[in-house]
Amino acid sequence: MNRPRWHKSSFSDGGSNCVEVREHVSGADVRDTQHRNDAELTFPAAEWHGFLTQFKHQAL
């Protein structure tokens, strides 16, 4: 199974405080842009959707 490519979060400031996200059918993976070879966090689809929904409501 091919996983989608990593992309920088649209909320990253463009400086050194960035995260990258790789969204896929089963959820999403998140990693630190400066430490790409270190650990990444994996979220199941329901948790990732809940996080995005909550974040969007707070950002308004």
Segment 4-55, tens digit of pLDDT: 899 887 766 666 678 899 999 999 999 988 888 898 999 999 999 999 999 8
Distance CA 59, CA 15 (A): 20
The answer on pLDDT for 56 being more than 90 is no
Alpha-carbon dihedral 52, 55, 59, 60, rounded to 10 degrees: 70
> Half-sphere exposure of residue 23, counting CA atoms within 13 Å on the CB side?
9
* Structure token pair of residue 7: 């992309």
pLDDT of residue 1: 57
The answer on pLDDT for 60 being more than 60 is no
Cβ–Cβ < 8 Å for 8, 24: no
